């Protein structure tokens, strides 16, 4: 699938005035999980800058114990500090990786900015090693920009 084909459905979800923000985020999780075969876990973490933690928001995929992640810990925690995308081709090669499941082989995390502040991120796990391309990264940047409009 060409990821740009999902731009319109993403915008439609964002502009749906009958859903609250959390419902929109969950709808995006469902859309990405069902439309892209190698997006095996799709979720959002949101920052609490006061206590330097990320908190799990809507997600689709296997249950996770990682509902609160300190800034700096794991891939998500590193993105909270760096404010930069993080693509991990092979999670087993990462020293600061929080293992969610033995089935996860690669991960991508892209921050969401509102007024220049990193408010959270989209986190995607794949059961495929080296699953994510530059196209995925650019697409998820688009998704995060769209999401910023509901904040």
Domains of the chain: 3-148 (3.30.450.40)
User: What Rg value do the Cα atoms of the chain yield, rounded?
Assistant: 14
Q: Could you give the count of Cα atoms lying within 13 Å of 35 in the half-sphere of its Cβ?
A: 16
Question: pTM of this prediction?
Answer: 0.96
Question: How far is it, in rounded angstroms, from Cα 35 to Cα 43?
Answer: 15
pLDDT digits over 92-150, tens only? 888 777 766 788 999 999 999 999 999 999 999 999 999 999 999 999 999 999 999 99
């Amino acid at each position: 699938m060409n990821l740009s084909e999902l731009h319109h459905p993403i915008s439609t979800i964002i502009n749906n005035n009958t859903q609250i923000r959390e419902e929109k985020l969950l709808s995006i999780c469902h859309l990405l999980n069902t439309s892209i075969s190698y997006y095996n876990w799709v979720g959002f973490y949101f920052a609490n800058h006061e206590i330097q933690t990320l908190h799990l928001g809507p997600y689709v995929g296997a249950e996770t114990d990682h509902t609160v992640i300190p800034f700096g810990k794991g891939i998500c925690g590193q993105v909270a500090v760096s404010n930069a995308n993080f693509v991990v081709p092979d999670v087993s090669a990462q020293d600061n990786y929080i293992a969610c499941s033995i089935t996860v082989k690669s991960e991508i995390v892209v921050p969401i900015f509102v007024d220049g502040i990193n408010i959270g991120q989209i986190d995607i796990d794949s059961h495929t090693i080296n699953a994510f391309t530059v196209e995925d990264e650019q697409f998820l940047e688009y998704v995060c920009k769209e999401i910023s409009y509901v904040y």
